Structure 1
Amino acid sequence: MSRRRPRPAWQVADFFALEREAEVYLAAVDACLAMPAVARRLGVRPQATAENARAAMLTEANVERAVAPCQATQERFRSLLKRSERQRQRLDYLHDRMHPLTALFCGITVLALLVVAFSSWPIALAAALAPLLTAAAIWRHQVWRMHVLLNLREWALRPRVALLDRRTAWAAAAWSRDLQGNGVRPLTDRVVEALLGEDHDSLLLADNFHGLRSPRNPQYVVESLAARSLTRKIAQLESGGTIAVSGSRGAGKSTLLETCAGEAGFAVVVQAPATYSPYDFLLSLYVRTCESYLVHMGHVPPAFLRLSPLRRAARQLLPALRKGLTALAFGLAAGSLVILGLAATVRSFTAQQWPTVRARAVDLWHEAVAVVLDIWKGERIGAAVLVVAAGVLLWSLRRWKRWRAIREGARVVLVVAGVGLIVATFFSLLGDDDLRTLVGEAIGKTDGKADGEGFFLLFVSLAGLFNLLIEQPWEIRGRILLTQRWRRRVGWVLFLIGLVLLFTLPLTQALVADPENPLRLTVALTGLMLVKMVTWSPVSPIPPLVTTCRDELYRLQTVQTASSAVTAGPPQLLTAQTTSLSTLPPNFPELVSDFRALLTEIAAEQHRREQRVVIAIDEVDRLGSDTAALAFLGEIKAILGVPHVHYLISVAEDVGASFVRRGLPHRGVTDSSLDDIVHVPPCTLEESKEILERRASGLSEPYKALTHALSGGVPRDLIRYGLRLDEIEAKTRFVELTDIAEQLILEELSDTLAGFRTLLGKQRWTERTGTILVAFRNAMDHLRPTCSCGSTELRWALEHVAFHDLRGHLSEEAAAEVSDEARELLDEASAYALFSLTLLDIFGRGDFARRRDEAAARGPAGALELLGRARQELEVSPYSARHLIGSIRTAWRLQEGPAANPLAAIPLPRGTECPRHPRVPA
């Protein structure tokens, strides 16, 4: 009988030819439904449950859609599955016909083999005949013979069936992966969206908010139009320049400066002080530049305040001492080995050549001494005159410009001589008759086999050497076989093994054993020493600029004092005088000059390396006013304009406007301080979406539009409102756009009106005008409950502030007592309340997608982009913002006036109980 698996619970047998296919598809559906991105969306609405999604995925139409993109892998799996089923049925058929004679024959055979292995040959021969006799008896009986053959065929079929089952399992896994990646997963998303309803984008189901929690993390930075513009301007100013980065607070100026600094070869980012002193700022920038350069070159900046003189000296001497001891240890070991190997050759050469050389040197010495004595005694007048002339000529040649050329020529001659000695050593091998004889004898002894072995071992050594030189790991089809570390180890092993075995060949031994080889080595080492002696120069391991930076740090951060004692007077009256010298800190002009000189050297070095130097001065807009910022630029103007140095300075919008309108009507400090300016505008809606998608993946479009509208496209506020979404969801467990939008908008409105009330409290009020503050307070009290959900009273209060003039309840005399500043604050608060009410009407109602499409079809005023512009316009003027908000409300078909009587008072605040989400008793 064939063993069949149980049928699945759902009826898809008509679609799948085999039940195993249905099981694989069902497992793929369950895996896709269990994915976090899908499981997060299940259960948020009543109809969007895992059971409903699973049932929808098992309908025949959806099964066809899911399987259609994966037909190739399905056909392979189906073919193997059918073959496996057929072989399995055949194996079951053979298994049912198992005969006892087969087991008996196998047992006799095993027993006979044991007896043959452990007995003497007569008994082994008798035991070997037992299986043969049993096989003959079975073979003579037709029925027995058929059963045994069937059993043997079953045993031969089992490995084949096991292998086929393994291949079928692999094909099933491949089809399952294909289904999850290309078939079931995309269809699962569409099914879940259909279960969630048409307005499924209004659910807050972001994958994570990790990027919002790390606002300064560079991996979440999105390249903007301002960043591309700044890159182009820096590239255009190849020889350096000063570029101002202007924009409102939170627009991303600091991030832009840090990004450009990170792409430069050497960069220094400093913050402008809130209360600045030009000298202190330049001193701080000078110190920061020196420390940054030391870190850039891999050195540790000195800590003068934390280290005692003894520890500081030890910190400087220990690395040099450690390096010297290491070189001494290796030098002694290497020199001992070289001397041991060449000692006999040098002694032999000295014994043969030294007498002749010594005799000739002694003769020359005696002749020179005799000439000097004759000149001293006055016996050689002509020679004395020549000596005097030579002395005068030598003194006159002390500044001869050709000495450098002569020294270079001597160095070239020595290098050529050293290289000649090394080359002559190798050519001497070709002309050695004894060596050729030894090589011929070695080749004759090996019968020509040494050539192949030598070439093979030489190939092994060269392969190991090549493996040491390459840097890439060994890969096959993207799979790393050996990493770089293990590849180097294998290379060293191959190189050393090939080299060692190469010296075991007779031919190599004959070449190495030549008696003149030590002399050749001596000559080659002598040539190498000549070349090394000429080309060696005592270069300090510490670059000069590093030393300069350390000296400057010592000069700028410490006070140097020197003292000396002098003893004067006769011995019986000893007097002591002590003189003390103390260095003064550099003044501002000297500090500017030294800083420019150091920065010029650093920039020249980086320019030779084709790297860029960037000095970024951030937070200039913290100085408080455009006048203070312009004064700051005028003070630091002295350090600008260094060749190949790009200064990036973040300034406020008014300073940037001063540069843009240069010469109208007169020129200011920005004309001579700045070379160009990059304006960082607020983000557009598309840029805000890109930022939020990078930092909070999975966040739907309505929430991106809401945060963009509240922030006005300012990246810092955009990130802050994104975090508020996460906070509200964690606090209230709301996932619907209507609930979250009301909570976020009303909380922001409450904080903003509280700020306006604080500013209004600083104005002068009377008994008649104080009713404005009462109305303002009553409107704010509607926003104080824990759950700031909409209610009739709340909307009435908001409409009263947004559409009405709070001064309308006053008489003409009382209204005239309100100051212009208070009137402006009231108008700004009213405009912001109207903006918040507009956001509530747009995002706080259901069916957002349909209303968005209808508003966009009515004209440009219905675009979501315009909400961010309205928020930006509130910072310019409340009156122009009201005009823009009015056009937006018209496009969205929102009411253009209050529903309540304009002269009616604001209703009393509601209680703390939420009308939409009542508190459930415990």
Structure 2
Amino acid sequence: MSRRRPRPAWQVADFFALEREAEVYLAAVDACLAMPAVARRLGVRPQATAENARAAMLTEANVERAVAPCRATQERFRALLERSERQRRRLDYLHDRTHPLTVVLCGITVFALLAVVFSPWPTALAAALAPPLIAAVIWRHQAWRMYVLLNLREWILWPHVSLLERRTTWAAAAWSRDLQGNGVRPLTDRVVEALLGEDHDSLLLADNFHGLRSPRNPRYVVESLAAQSLTRKIAQLESGGTIAVSGSRGAGKSTLLETCAGEAGFAVIVQAPATYSPYDFLLSLYVRTCESYLVHMGHVPPAFRRLSPFRRAARQLLPVLRKGGTVLAFGLAAGSLVVLGLAAAVRSLTDQQWPTARARAMDLWHEAVDVVLDIWKGERIGAAVPVVVAGVLLWSLRRWKRWRAIRRGARVTLVAAGVGLVAVASFSLLVDDDLRTLVREAIGRDEGKGSFLLLVPLVGLVNLLAEQPWEIRGRVLLTQRWRHRSGWGLFLIGLALLFTLPLTRALVADPENPLRLTVALAGLMLIRMATWSPASPIPPLVTACRDELYRLQTVQTASSAVTAGPPQLLTTQTTSLSTMPPNFPELVSDFRTLLTEIAAEQHRREQRVVIAIDEVDRLGSDTAALAFLGEIKAILGVPHVHYLISVAEDVGASFVRRGLPHRGVTDSSLDDIVHVPPCTLEESKEILERRASGLSEPYKALTHALSGGVPRDLIRYGLRLDEIEAKTRFVELTDIAGQLILEELSDTLAGFRTLLGKQRWTARTGPVLVAFRNVMDHLSPACPCGSIELRWALEHVAFHDLRGHLGEEAAAEVSNEARELLDEASAYALFSLTLLDVFGRRDFARRRDAAAARGPAGDLELLGRARQELEVSPYSARHLIGSIRTAWRLPEGPTVGPSASIPAPRSADCPRHPRASA
């Protein structure tokens, strides 16, 4: 029967049959509460403490919910635990009845075994007969017989109990992992969320912000619809083309170009110059293409700029000397060892065969010399004719097409000869009578231990060849790294042990082994000689790129001196030749030729060539961008080359409305266009989840609304969240949103005030600048305290009425440009005030659901669209913001104080601001 544990103090009352189960569950709860993602949320609110969470997890209802998904592993652990306890009780029962006589009998038996092994045969015989005689005497006594049987059962049961306890421990670990992964951890999240309250998503508790700190890291890039569209368009233009990537600044055009360039076989990314010159840009692109191709092919671009001839020669010679020194060092060491081992065998073979071979070679040499001398003296006229014919035929065979087949046949012959020599050396071991005699004698002496020693290197080889780590019931016993180390160790130890056997030493000491090694090495050298080929020559395109780099980046000068006149009057004439840099048409032609060859080579390899020209939108205006496209149009249209050009939205709009009413430069320069729109709310959530995991939905919606879905600004505002949390220690949405929105509004209004300061103002219109200064004083420093004076100041700007503030006559003196700036500032202030009303108040989740239920205008997506609309027109943006405020039940006009004046700013810092607390 299993033991029922008493009711514990931590209130998992009578739910588990065994106390060990409760211990495993409690350990799983503590491990889940200690996880960083859970521990980060504990303590941020008064009721959300680790003690309360632990107490909630140990209630009977929650224990049932946590254990239910892991019932199978629990039943297996419980069954093994009960079996282990039963066997342990049996073992304890047998252990308590151990008789001293059993110990004496075991000692006598061990002593007898040692005597049998190490004593002469009479003593060994007596020692061997002693234990059976003592056992027979003990067996006749009933009580002693019972004790002996009990002790034998104990010894037999002990290994079984040990293995069962080990299996129980593994089962406990498996149930604990199952609990933490499928039972306790999900329930812990729900318990902590319940303790945090209904609006738990309003807490800033992200796991990390690593992805936001690395905006250009490709591992954090999320594939967008624009990326998929660009991939399809490139696939459709199989023979190459020019595709423009259009979008606002920060929309992700550069990331899109880098991603496509990374997927291509060969790619070049260049930046368009701010003040461009077509010749300089093409020259830079030409040089970058040559250098990129050299790197792509595994070569180093020539570094001849700012280098003296000595340093340039040293840089070229050092790699050769380093490689030659390594080969020379290893070659001398290896050759010395081989020569030392085979010197005696080669010398013996030379002493036996060299006189005969040398005599035969000298005879052949003398006969050949005699024939040549006779032909030279004219004594063999008949032989001279075939010699002449042979010379003519040899000259005519210089272009014979069968030489390649003959060389191939010679290589095959050498390989066959080498394989034959290696086979002869190996076969000689089988036909050697002395070696066969040694093997038979070793088998006759029963050297069976050699077969066991052979298992050691075999186990080592199995460890080396196995690809998966050794596991038993999911428990890793030997990792892949240690498996390889142990494999090499066992293999080398096994070989060392094999050399301790007499048979192995006799086989190695055979006097004919050096000769066999010599023959085998000769065969291997023939095989290597036949299969050796010189280093692959430098490809022609690599040489062409190097030549172009020298031509484009250096000025070459040649001088010659001529001496003329009679000896008594010497005159010297010097001629100097200097290369001229190529002009623009020649540069275009040469670049297209080189790029065509590179593209054809990559196309044969089924690879794509991409030339990405980024930052064209920074030229300043659409006119400059279109002029730039018109100038570089000469290098476009190379077969199998895809040009990707990032342009601004206005250039993309020019291509879209092609032919209406007339055609422009984009029609002849671009083949297609991909528009990169701002991200939707779902896309922004995906980006933030990839870059800042654990960031809750309200913060994703807040950063999306402030950035308008522009990825660059989205990342910037995400980093501002981390900065505000580190600076103020705020974790609530109301505090962080107010701080972020007010800081951004303060910076924006400061920029508007700078622009307004450049306009013309009079004494009657000056109060407008005074009003802006007062608002700036309220916003500096920005603090989410929500004071009435701050809201009064914000409403004064958001719902400003120029005529109501200044009067009819003074308002008429304000210029149209100043009016537009005031309208833009007012619209942005209204947008910021709306964000404060949406995110800066409590109970965000309930208000969000209520606004969404009132219609499409209550969707959080519209906040990002309103930010995008501010870049188009402040008047259309105010209309959209008005519909959003209606859906969220926000006031449509001023609510605090008269709108004609702004209250004086506070005299002291807010006590909640970090600067005041410091």
Same fold, TM-score > 0.5, yes or no:
yes
2:566 is matched with 570
Within the alignment, does 1:220 sit opposite 2:216 as a pair?
Answer: no
Pick closer, same or farther for the CA change 1:408–1:318 going to 2, 3 Å.
farther
Tell me the CA shift for residue 616 of structure 1: 1.2
2-structure distance, mates of 1:301, 1:421? 40
1:55 is matched with 55
**What is the SS of the residue equivalent to 2:269?**
strand
1-structure distance, mates of 2:229, 2:110? 88
1:38 is matched with 38
Within the alignment, does 1:206 sit opposite 2:203 as a pair?
Answer: no
2-structure distance, mates of 1:602, 1:346? 58
1-structure distance, mates of 2:438, 2:107? 52
Within the alignment, does 1:718 sit opposite 2:714 as a pair?
Answer: yes
Tell me the CA shift for residue 680 of structure 1: 0.8
Residue number among 403, 409, 412 corresponding to 2:405 in the alignment: 412
Tell me the CA shift for residue 260 of structure 1: 1.2
1-structure distance, mates of 2:574, 2:853? 93
The 5 A counterparts of 1:389-788 are 407-413=400-406, 415-416=408-409, 419=412, 473=467, 481=480, 541-788=537-784
Tell me the CA shift for residue 722 of structure 1: 0.3
Can you list the C-alpha shifts for 1:495-525, whole angstroms capped at 9, x where unaligned?
999xx9999999x9999999xx98x999999
2-structure distance, mates of 1:146, 1:757? 105
2-structure distance, mates of 1:35, 1:309? 62
The answer (yes or no) to whether the contact 1:796–1:906 under 8 Å persists in 2 is: yes
Residue number among 884, 890, 901 corresponding to 1:888 in the alignment: 884
The answer (yes or no) to whether the contact 2:138–2:145 under 8 Å persists in 1 is: no
Structure 1, 781-790 or 358-367: larger mean CA deviation: 358-367
Residue number among 793, 808, 812 corresponding to 1:812 in the alignment: 808
The 5 A counterparts of 1:167-182 are 167-182=167-182
Pick closer, same or farther for the CA change 1:630–1:489 going to 2, 3 Å.
farther
- Structure 2 portions without partners, runs of 5+: 443-450
Pick closer, same or farther for the CA change 1:509–1:191 going to 2, 3 Å.
same
1-structure distance, mates of 2:786, 2:708? 24
**What is the SS of the residue equivalent to 1:268?**
strand
Tell me the CA shift for residue 270 of structure 1: 1.4
Tell me the CA shift for residue 863 of structure 1: 0.9
- 1:912 aligned partner, one-letter code: A
The answer (yes or no) to whether the contact 1:8–1:22 under 8 Å persists in 2 is: no
Report the TM-score when normalising by structure 2.
Answer: 0.83
**What is the SS of the residue equivalent to 1:693?**
helix
Within the alignment, does 1:277 sit opposite 2:277 as a pair?
Answer: yes
- 1:312 aligned partner, one-letter code: R
Can you list the C-alpha shifts for 1:656-687, whole angstroms capped at 9, x where unaligned?
11111112122111111112111111001111
The answer (yes or no) to whether the contact 2:3–2:18 under 8 Å persists in 1 is: no
Tell me the CA shift for residue 480 of structure 1: 6.3
**What is the SS of the residue equivalent to 1:703?**
helix
Pick closer, same or farther for the CA change 1:428–1:122 going to 2, 3 Å.
closer
- 1:293 aligned partner, one-letter code: Y
Tell me the CA shift for residue 794 of structure 1: 1.3
Pick closer, same or farther for the CA change 1:92–1:320 going to 2, 3 Å.
closer
- 2:288 aligned partner, one-letter code: R
Structure 1, 155-164 or 661-670: larger mean CA deviation: 155-164
Tell me the CA shift for residue 704 of structure 1: 0.4
Tell me the CA shift for residue 218 of structure 1: 0.9
The answer (yes or no) to whether the contact 1:769–1:817 under 8 Å persists in 2 is: yes
Residue number among 89, 100, 115 corresponding to 1:103 in the alignment: 100
2:447 is matched with none
- 1:8 aligned partner, one-letter code: P
Pick closer, same or farther for the CA change 1:145–1:471 going to 2, 3 Å.
closer
- 1:103 aligned partner, one-letter code: P
The 5 A counterparts of 1:58-457 are 58-95=58-95, 97-98=96-97, 102-103=99-100, 106-107=103-104, 110=107, 136=137, 140=141, 142=143, 146=146, 150=150, 153-154=153-154, 156-320=156-320, 348=356, 351=359, 359=367, 366=374, 370=378, 407-413=400-406, 415-416=408-409, 419=412
**What is the SS of the residue equivalent to 1:725?**
helix
**What is the SS of the residue equivalent to 2:779?**
coil
The answer (yes or no) to whether the contact 2:739–2:782 under 8 Å persists in 1 is: no
Pick closer, same or farther for the CA change 1:620–1:901 going to 2, 3 Å.
same
Pick closer, same or farther for the CA change 1:196–1:422 going to 2, 3 Å.
closer
2-structure distance, mates of 1:195, 1:694? 27
- 2:283 aligned partner, one-letter code: L
2:445 is matched with none
1:845 is matched with 841
Tell me the CA shift for residue 603 of structure 1: 1.9
2-structure distance, mates of 1:491, 1:258? 49
- 2:584 aligned partner, one-letter code: F
Can you list the C-alpha shifts for 1:675-700, whole angstroms capped at 9, x where unaligned?
21111110011110000000000001
2-structure distance, mates of 1:484, 1:639? 57
- 1:37 aligned partner, one-letter code: A
**What is the SS of the residue equivalent to 1:600?**
helix
Tell me the CA shift for residue 792 of structure 1: 1.2
The answer (yes or no) to whether the contact 1:473–1:483 under 8 Å persists in 2 is: no
Within the alignment, does 1:803 sit opposite 2:796 as a pair?
Answer: no
Structure 1, 80-89 or 659-668: larger mean CA deviation: 80-89
Tell me the CA shift for residue 71 of structure 1: 0.8
2-structure distance, mates of 1:806, 1:831? 14
2-structure distance, mates of 1:429, 1:774? 100
Can you list the C-alpha shifts for 1:816-855, whole angstroms capped at 9, x where unaligned?
1111110000000111111111111111111111111121
2-structure distance, mates of 1:552, 1:314? 23
- 1:59 aligned partner, one-letter code: T
- 2:691 aligned partner, one-letter code: R
1:453 is matched with none
1-structure distance, mates of 2:487, 2:142? 69
2-structure distance, mates of 1:371, 1:29? 111
Structure 1, 64-73 or 578-587: larger mean CA deviation: 578-587
1:454 is matched with none
2-structure distance, mates of 1:155, 1:553? 85
Tell me the CA shift for residue 182 of structure 1: 0.6
Within the alignment, does 1:16 sit opposite 2:21 as a pair?
Answer: no
**What is the SS of the residue equivalent to 1:782?**
helix
1-structure distance, mates of 2:487, 2:165? 42
Pick closer, same or farther for the CA change 1:503–1:589 going to 2, 3 Å.
farther
Tell me the CA shift for residue 150 of structure 1: 4.5
Within the alignment, does 1:855 sit opposite 2:851 as a pair?
Answer: yes
Tell me the CA shift for residue 138 of structure 1: 9.4
**What is the SS of the residue equivalent to 1:880?**
helix
- Structure 1 portions without partners, runs of 5+: 375-379, 451-456
Can you list the C-alpha shifts for 1:564-588, whole angstroms capped at 9, x where unaligned?
3332322222333333333232222
Identical counterparts, % of pairs: 74
- 1:666 aligned partner, one-letter code: H
- 1:236 aligned partner, one-letter code: Q
Report the TM-score when normalising by structure 1.
Answer: 0.83
Pick closer, same or farther for the CA change 1:815–1:354 going to 2, 3 Å.
same
Pick closer, same or farther for the CA change 1:493–1:675 going to 2, 3 Å.
farther
**What is the SS of the residue equivalent to 1:581?**
strand
